[in-house]
């Protein structure tokens, strides 16, 4: 079996976001960029499935600027076998990304397609579901446990109020939630080896996908600031403020 893992280059999750003065976007110049944390979990799960003998090859794909090859190399250092960079300077919207991934998944014949549940920049939580729809296959979203049994995969999903398990026929799309696993760190020798692994470069046109979206971000603003709070000195003062000033209890 082959696995396809999609990774996105995003602002590092520890970086404090700044909105550009012209309100066109978030300022990403000179900011630390990383693999989207949920995608790192997807890579880890694929590597664990490989270590368990379930899958033989892991292909990692990223769609984005030239620099996204850094994120592919990171995934290769974690244990993926080869990479595909679909280079584009256009903003990658989920529907267009899903169309490219479909094309790759079908031509590679992958049985398990792993994505993070959402990217921490656009917070969309759409690509995996869209990909599953376009391919006409099942989806295991928000996965906290993945068990492959023959030609089926049992996925335990984190849902509002608890957990739900679904059985999907393969091929299937799985999107990872935080508790699926704890990603490993890349070891230095593996980082060196990753530099020699195969990395193909493509463009969206190679897959016949037009990156223009009928959706457009017209303005980006910082969220409304909360007015400065006060420090209370005692529990009594806190109770008094909540009762008489804020009137919430």
Partner 1 sequence: MAILVYAEHDNASLKKATLNTIAAAKQIGVDVHVLVAGSGNQAVADEAAKAEGVTKVLLADNAVYEHQLAENIALLVADIASDYSHILAPATSTGKGFMPRAAALLDVSMLSEITAVIDPQNFERPIYAGNATATVKTTEEKVMITVRATAFDPVAAEGGSATVETIDNVQEAGKATFVNEEMAKSDRPELTSASIVVSGGRALANGENFTKYIEPLADKLGAAIGASRAAVDAGYVANDMQVGQTGKIVAPDLYIAAGISGAIQHLAGMKDSKVIVAINNDPDSPIASVADYFLEADLFTALPELTSKI
- Please, which of residues 209-248 interact with partner 1 by CB under 8 A? 213-223, 226-227, 229-232, 234-236, 238-239, 241-242, 246, 248
Distance CA 26, CA 221 (A): 9
Least gap, CB of 98 to partner 1 (angstroms):
6
User: According to the binding rule CB under 8 A, does residue 21 interact with partner 1?
Assistant: no
Size of the site for partner 1 (CB under 8 A): 79
Q: Is the Cα dihedral 115, 117, 119, 124 positive or negative?
A: positive
Six-digit token string for 117: 């549940």
Among 150, 161, 189, 208, binds partner 1 (CB under 8 A): 161
194 neighbors 76 (Cβ within 8 angstroms): yes
Contact positions with partner 1 (CB under 8 A) in 106-135: 117, 120-134
Number of Cα atoms under 13 Å in the Cβ half of residue 5: 35
Closest CB to partner 1 among 164 and 198? 164
Among 139, 143, 174, 209, binds partner 1 (CB under 8 A): 139
Give the H or E element holding residue 39: helix 37-51
User: According to the binding rule CB under 8 A, does residue 103 interact with partner 1?
Assistant: no
User: According to the binding rule CB under 8 A, does residue 22 interact with partner 1?
Assistant: no
User: According to the binding rule CB under 8 A, does residue 167 interact with partner 1?
Assistant: yes
Contact positions with partner 1 (CB under 8 A) in 71-100: 93-95, 98
Distance CA 129, CA 242 (A): 44
Closest CB to partner 1 among 196 and 227? 227
User: According to the binding rule CB under 8 A, does residue 164 interact with partner 1?
Assistant: yes
With H, G, I as helix, E, B as strand and everything else as coil, classify residue 112.
strand
Distance CA 68, CA 18 (A): 21
Q: Find all residues with CB under 8 Å of 245, minimum gap 6, and list them.
A: none
């Amino acid at each position: 079996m082959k696995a396809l893992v999609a990774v996105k280059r995003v602002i590092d999750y520890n970086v404090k976001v700044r909105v550009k003065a012209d309100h066109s976007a978030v300022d990403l110049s000179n900011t630390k960029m990383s693999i989207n944390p949920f995608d790192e979990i997807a890579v880890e799960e694929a590597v664990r499935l490989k270590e368990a003998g379930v899958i033989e090859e892991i292909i990692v794909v990223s769609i984005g600027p030239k620099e996204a090859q850094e994120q592919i190399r990171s995934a290769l250092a974690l244990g993926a076998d080869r990479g595909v960079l679909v280079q584009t300077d256009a903003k990658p919207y989920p529907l267009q990304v899903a169309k490219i991934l479909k094309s790759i998944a079908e031509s590679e014949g992958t049985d398990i397609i792993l994505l993070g549940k959402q990217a921490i920049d656009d917070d969309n939580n759409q690509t995996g579901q869209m990909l599953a729809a376009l391919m006409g296959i099942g989806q295991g979203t928000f996965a906290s446990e993945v068990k492959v049994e023959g030609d089926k995969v049992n996925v335990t999903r984190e849902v509002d109020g608890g957990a739900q398990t679904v059985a999907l026929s393969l091929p299937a799309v799985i999107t990872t939630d935080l508790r699926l696993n704890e990603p490993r760190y890349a070891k230095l020798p593996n980082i060196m080896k990753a530099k020699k692994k195969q990395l193909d470069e493509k463009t969206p046109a190679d897959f016949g996908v037009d990156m223009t979206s009928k959706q457009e971000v017209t303005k980006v603003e910082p969220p409304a600031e909360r007015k400065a709070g006060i420090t209370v000195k005692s529990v009594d003062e806190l109770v008094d403020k909540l009762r008489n000033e804020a009137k919430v209890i």
